């Protein structure tokens, strides 16, 4: 099945596979490298689950390839999470054989070793005396006439150090036995010969420990090494080198060839390096220069964008001024009223049937004024009413006006709500909580107090005046709400019978009933003879010891959720 599958795939399009390697060894080695890069990219995806690959050893990827020194045997290891059908092993064996035959004209023998967490495929040429590289390939031809004895090497060690300044060679114990001029500059006066490489570097990629055999089995992958912070020159601390590791079979050593990872000339010079420290043959030089060119183009683009933004800002000046006027109108009037005023349309008075009005004043305000300066009084009212304005935005009620120490609010006016009485009661409770902790500056007041009155009913609202127009409320119920405030007591919220019934429907409010004689004389005879104070509110799902603000905030979330469900339906 594996041979048939390979034949069908190669018959459709074999060109992409031909670019991977000239021979079977290069082909499989690069397959390992490609899959490691692909795995890294996929693992960084947000929706990637780690269960897709959780190998038993953290330094192993799903595929690893090992080639012996004589190039006569390849060991391909497939690491698996759990045992799977042995048919897969047979399928892959056939796949290897057909790919080797069709792409590289080699007849191979594949033996399989099945373990609990991996499959090992031992690949050899069927000719016992032959390697896995074609005799007529370029690799075979140039190997036949290349010098292969150390005494024939036509380069001094110092020359090699200059050509590859960021290389190092370590022995089987992973101790430095040679390093290039670039690393010498990084190490400074510290002699790192015979020092373990883990004292200088951390391995960022791949995920492998400091063991000779572990590194040796990962030489097909790109390595990223990070310089540790114990280097004397702080400029080089945490600098990263990227390159590859080559096994030197003749000396049983590992050779690292790499280059510093830098982003542009500024990053290079900040590390204490110069372009001359990068060899001419190293593509890092070109990358740095290209990044500088890209940075210059980006700078030009930013200047063009800045010029464009300047032009746009100039064009938006009128729009900004218009927005300021609109925002000012929205602070003074309800949104729909402000919109009509801005458009130059007339605003007709309107009747609202379900509104709860709140009136409040400061107890003993006249006496306070007699003992404080006008500036202190203004500052006091500004500090207090600024808090109240914030509450209006949080609870979504409308401040109608402030006259001296009187602060007036209407709920259900510009946005109709079946919870208008509840919202007004929440506003009153938050106002009382704020007054309780309020300490005016530069005013000698033993205890600052306020009284509030609530009444629910109908009212007429409209614009009054042309110069400095005001949005005013009119009607008998507005006057009655004011009367309930004047009949209240210090630090108490007095409510009318209509407001009392509406709050009872919402539940969880606590009241103190008053004698019916406490009702204002102006209270209509058709209303129930019930007088009460609102004491507090407790949400049924919250602990009673939590603050009043927490209970109100939770209740507002419930109301908003109910309103959203109603709008959707």
Helix (H) or strand (E) holding 393: helix 374-395
Point out the domain boundary residue: 121, 145, 169.
145
DSSP string, 232-280: SSGGGTT-EEEEEEEEETTTTEEEEEEEE---HHHHHHHTT--GGGS-T
Question: Which CATH number do you get for residue 184?
Answer: 3.30.450.260
The closest of 222, 205, 217, 250 to 75, measured between CA atoms, is 217
Q: Which two tokens stand for residue 281?
A: 């043959």
Higher pLDDT, 434 or 441: 434
Point out the domain boundary residue: 145, 168, 185.
145
Q: Same domain for 109 and 69?
A: yes
Q: Same domain for 42 and 158?
A: no
- Residue 137 sits at φ, ψ, to 5 deg, of -80, 160
pLDDT of residue 494 exceeding 90, the answer is yes
Across 66-75, 308-317, 360-369, least confident range: 66-75
With cut-offs at 50, 70 and 90, classify the pLDDT of residue 136: low
Q: Same domain for 564 and 460?
A: yes
Q: Same domain for 102 and 214?
A: no
Point out the domain boundary residue: 273, 288, 303.
288
Instruction: Classify residue 157 by its DSSP letter.
Output: H
- d(CA 418, CA 392) in angstroms, rounded, equals 17
Calculate mean pLDDT across residues 110-118: 80
With cut-offs at 50, 70 and 90, classify the pLDDT of residue 55: very low
- Express each pLDDT in 520-551 by its tens digit: 988 888 888 888 999 999 999 999 899 999 99
**Which residue is associated with the tokens 């119920």?**
477
Q: Same domain for 497 and 518?
A: yes
Higher pLDDT, 451 or 277: 451
Calculate mean pLDDT across residues 67-91: 72
Q: What mean pLDDT value characterizes the chain?
A: 83
pLDDT of residue 147 exceeding 50, the answer is yes
Strands (E), 126-271: 168-170, 176-179, 201-205, 223-227, 240-248, 253-260
Q: Same domain for 161 and 239?
A: yes
Q: Same domain for 283 and 352?
A: no
Residue 398 lies in a domain: yes
- Express each pLDDT in 167-221 by its tens digit: 999 999 999 999 999 999 988 888 899 999 999 999 998 888 899 988 888 888 8
- Residue 439 pLDDT: 86
**Which residue is associated with the tokens 């390595």?**
223
Higher pLDDT, 287 or 538: 538
- Residue 21 pLDDT: 75
Contacts of 354 (CB under 8 A, 6+ apart): 412, 416, 418, 420, 456, 458
Q: Same domain for 360 and 504?
A: yes
Residue 306 lies in a domain: no
- d(CA 344, CA 346) in angstroms, rounded, equals 7
**Considering the chain, what percentage of its residues have pLDDT values greater than 90?**
31
**Considering the chain, what percentage of its residues have pLDDT values greater than 70?**
88
How do beta strands 176-179 and 168-170 pair?
A: antiparallel
- Residue 58 pLDDT: 41
- Residue 316 pLDDT: 84
Q: Same domain for 330 and 280?
A: no
Query: Within a 10 A sphere around the Cβ of 161, how many other Cβ atoms?
Result: 18
Query: Within a 10 A sphere around the Cβ of 149, how many other Cβ atoms?
Result: 7
Q: How many folded domains does the chain comprise?
A: 4
**Residues of the domain holding 244:** 150-288
Residue 548 lies in a domain: yes
- Express each pLDDT in 363-420 by its tens digit: 988 888 888 888 999 999 999 999 999 999 899 898 988 888 899 999 988 788 889 9
- Express each pLDDT in 241-270 by its tens digit: 999 998 888 888 999 999 998 877 877 888
Residue 298 lies in a domain: no
Instruction: Classify residue 372 by its DSSP letter.
Output: S
With cut-offs at 50, 70 and 90, classify the pLDDT of residue 52: very low
Question: Which CATH number do you get for residue 436?
Answer: 3.30.70.1230
Calculate mean pLDDT across residues 302-324: 84
């Amino acid at each position: 099945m594996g041979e048939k599958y390979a034949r069908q795939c190669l018959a459709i399009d074999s060109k992409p596979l031909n670019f991977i390697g000239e021979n079977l060894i290069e082909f499989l080695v690069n397959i390992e490298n490609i899959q490691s890069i692909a795995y890294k990219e996929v693992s960084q995806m947000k929706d990637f689950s780690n269960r897709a690959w959780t190998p038993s050893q953290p330094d192993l990827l799903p595929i690893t390839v090992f080639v012996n020194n004589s190039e006569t045997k390849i060991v391909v290891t497939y690491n698996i999470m759990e045992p799977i059908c042995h048919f897969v092993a047979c399928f892959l064996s056939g796949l290897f054989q057909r790919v080797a035959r069709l792409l590289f004209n080699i007849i191979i023998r594949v033996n399989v070793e099945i373990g609990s967490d991996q499959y090992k495929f031992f690949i050899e040429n069927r000719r016992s005396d032959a390697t896995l590289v074609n005799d007529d390939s370029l690799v075979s031809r140039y190997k036949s006439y290349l010098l292969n004895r150390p005494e024939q090497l036509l380069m001094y060690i110092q020359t090699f150090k200059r050509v590859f300044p960021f290389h190092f060679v370590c022995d089987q114990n992973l101790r430095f036995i040679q390093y290039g001029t670039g690393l010498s500059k990084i190490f400074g006066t510290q002699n790192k010969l015979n020092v373990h490489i883990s004292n200088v570097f951390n391995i960022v990629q791949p995920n492998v420990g400091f063991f000779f055999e572990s590194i040796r089995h990962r030489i097909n992958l790109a390595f990223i090494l990070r310089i540790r912070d114990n280097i004397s020159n702080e400029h080089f601390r945490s600098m990263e080198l990227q390159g590859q590791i080559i096994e030197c079979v003749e000396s049983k050593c590992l050779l690292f060839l790499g280059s510093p990872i830098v982003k542009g000339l500024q990053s290079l010079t900040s590390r204490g390096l110069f372009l001359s420290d990068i060899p001419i043959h190293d593509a890092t030089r070109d990358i740095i220069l290209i990044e500088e060119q890209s940075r210059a183009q980006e700078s030009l683009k930013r200047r063009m964008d800045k010029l464009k933004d300047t032009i746009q800002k100039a064009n938006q000046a009128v729009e900004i001024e218009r927005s300021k006027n609109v925002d000012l109108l929205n602070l003074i009037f309800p949104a729909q009223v402000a919109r009509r005023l801005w458009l130059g349309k007339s605003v007709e008075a309107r009747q609202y049937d379900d509104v709860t009005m709140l009136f409040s004043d400061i107890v003993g305000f006249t006496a306070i004024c007699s003992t404080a300066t006008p500036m202190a009084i203004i500052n006091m009212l500004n500090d207090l009413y600024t808090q109240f304005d914030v509450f209006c935005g949080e609870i979504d009620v409308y401040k109608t006006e402030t006259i001296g120490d009187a602060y007036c609010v209407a709920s259900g006016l510009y946005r109709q709500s079946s919870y208008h009485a509840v919202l007004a009661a929440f506003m009153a409770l938050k106002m009382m909580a704020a007054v309780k902790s309020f300490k005016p500056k530069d005013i000698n007041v033993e205890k600052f107090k306020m009284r509030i009155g609530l009444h629910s009913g109908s009212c007429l609202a409209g614009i009054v005046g042309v110069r400095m127009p005001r949005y005013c409320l009119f009607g008998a119920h507005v006057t009655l709400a004011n009367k309930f405030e004047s009949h209240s007591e210090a630090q108490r919220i007095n409510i009318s019978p209509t407001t009392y019934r509406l709050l009872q429907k919402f539940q969880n409010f606590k009241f103190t009933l008053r004698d019916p004689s406490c009702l204002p004389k102006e209270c209509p005879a058709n209303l129930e003879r019930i007088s009460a104070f609102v004491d507090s509110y407790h949400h049924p799902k919250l602990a009673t010891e939590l603050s009043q603000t927490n209970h109100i905030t939770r209740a507002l979330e419930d109301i908003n959720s109910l309103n959203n469900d109603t709008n959707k339906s």
